[in-house]
Amino acid sequence: MNPPYVTGSSSVSTIMLKVLLALLPAVAAYVLLFGPAILIGIALASATALACEAFMLRLRRYPIKPFLLDGSALVTAWLLALAMPPLAPWWLVVVGTAFAIVVAKQLYGGLGSNLFNPAMVGYAVMIISFPAQMTQWQAPHALASLHLSFLQELQYMFGGTLPDGAKLDAVTMATPLDTLRTQLKLGHSVETIRQMPIFGAFSGKGSETVAWCYLAGGLLLWQQRVITWHIPAAFLATLALAAGAFYLHDPAHFAPPWFHLMSGGAMLGAFFIATDPVTGATTPKGKLIFGAGIGLLTYIIRAFGNFPDGVAFAVLLMNICVPLIDAYTQPRVFGHPTKPGRGTQQ
């Protein structure tokens, strides 16, 4: 046996379990405000992820049990399910998750070796391939003209059929970010757009509550020391700063910073996705740069790009920069006058 003979109690599984637990408040809010469809999505994604993971581990001759139990596949599945429209057809979730696990994770070498955030790869591939399905978001109960029962939701997700006479428009709607973009293009000002019924105090009705829940779960992760503050803080601060600058400059055409913070994948991305240790920067300074980069790119894509949200692409773009960021942000070593990795060693 080798020293140290004692070890702390943390394990990969407990870390992943804590991440899943921290997501529960948001899931609960989803169910209350939008209906139980999200649960079906999560279940589908989880089953697909575990099946794909087991299959790939088998193929790569890795022990299946410890790697299935590490919980990382489940985290990917949940994040992807939460990033997708809840009322998406079943195959959208299955194909997205399968791609995330098989290609983005296992083909890159499995746990710890993947360069890109698997959930975001799955999301990006889906939104590029199936833009229509990926933008049909369920309307919150408060706004929908038609309530689907759980059974009807199941029927729609697996059979693509709605109850007699119902139209898709009655249960889905564009997201606040999407609405803002289209309406701005039609020449309306931000002020008038935000009078529309789908908007709440900060961003969309319903979705802003879910965002609060992500924030709460994220703070829990921070308190539990699963994540550090650097990435979320830098991400959200940069997003707010960028949005704030444009908003001050031209409030008629740019949404206020709080709208950006509480919309789309900002909170989910800041606390749960950008903080993925495997694909993120590791040094404190590197984390700040990494987070700030995601925040800035998210804003640019949202304000000037052609996609409804920018978090996924921003994360993937910054994933590429991680080795470089880490190499150039090595902290000073105890008792050293300068930083390592710059050829200044004695």
Partner 1 sequence: MRPLYRFNGGVHPPQHKEESSGHPIVPAPLPARLVVPVHQHIGNPAKPLVQPGDRVLKGQLIAQAEGYVSAAVHAPTSGTVSTVAMHLVPHPSGLPDLCITVEADGEDRWIERQPIDYRELDASTLRNRLRDAGVVGLGGAVFPTFIKLNPGAQQRVPTLILNGAECEPWITCDDRLMRERAAQIVAGIAVMRFMLGSQEVLVGIEDNKPEAIAAMAEACAQSAFPIEVVAVPTLYPAGGAKQLIKVLTGKEAPSSGRSTDVGVACFNVATAYTVHRAVDHGEPVVSRVVTVTGNVREPRNFEALIGTPVSDLVAAAGGAREGTDRLVMGGPMMGFDLPSPEVPLVKACNCVIAASPALFKPAPAPMPCIRCGRCARACPVELQPQELYWFARAKNFGKAQEYALFDCIECGCCSYVCPSHIPLVQYYRFAKSEIWAREKEKKAADLARERHEFRQLRLEREKRERAEKLAQKTAAKAAPAPGEADAKKAAILAAVERAKAKKAAAAPRNVDNLPPEALEEIAKIEARRAQVRDMARRPVAEEKEP
Where along the sequence are the contacts to partner 1 (CB under 8 A)?
A: 1-8, 10-12, 14-15, 66-67, 70, 72, 110-113, 228, 277-278, 280, 282-283, 326, 330-337, 340-341, 343, 345-346
Q: Which is nearer to partner 1, 202 or 272 (CB)?
A: 272
Work out how close the CB of 89 gets to partner 1 at its nearest, in angstroms, rounded to a whole number: 33
Q: Which is nearer to partner 1, 11 or 161 (CB)?
A: 11
Work out how close the CB of 79 gets to partner 1 at its nearest, in angstroms, rounded to a whole number: 15
Greatest CA separation found in the chain? 78
Q: Which is nearer to partner 1, 324 or 333 (CB)?
A: 333
Q: Which is nearer to partner 1, 6 or 132 (CB)?
A: 6
Work out how close the CB of 125 gets to partner 1 at its nearest, in angstroms, rounded to a whole number: 23
DSSP 43-87: HHHHHHHHHHHHHHHHHTT--HHHHHHT-HHHHHHHHHHHHS-TT
Sign of CA dihedral 332, 335, 337, 342: negative
Work out how close the CB of 273 gets to partner 1 at its nearest, in angstroms, rounded to a whole number: 15
Work out how close the CB of 330 gets to partner 1 at its nearest, in angstroms, rounded to a whole number: 6
Q: Which is nearer to partner 1, 304 or 334 (CB)?
A: 334
Cα torsion through 8, 14, 16, 22, rounded to 10: -110
Work out how close the CB of 121 gets to partner 1 at its nearest, in angstroms, rounded to a whole number: 17
How far is the CA of 317 from the CAs of 27, 89, 274, 298, in angstroms?
A: 28, 28, 11, 10
Q: How far apart are CA 148 and CA 162, in angstroms?
A: 9
Q: Which is nearer to partner 1, 14 or 182 (CB)?
A: 14
Q: How far apart are CA 289 and CA 311, in angstroms?
A: 16
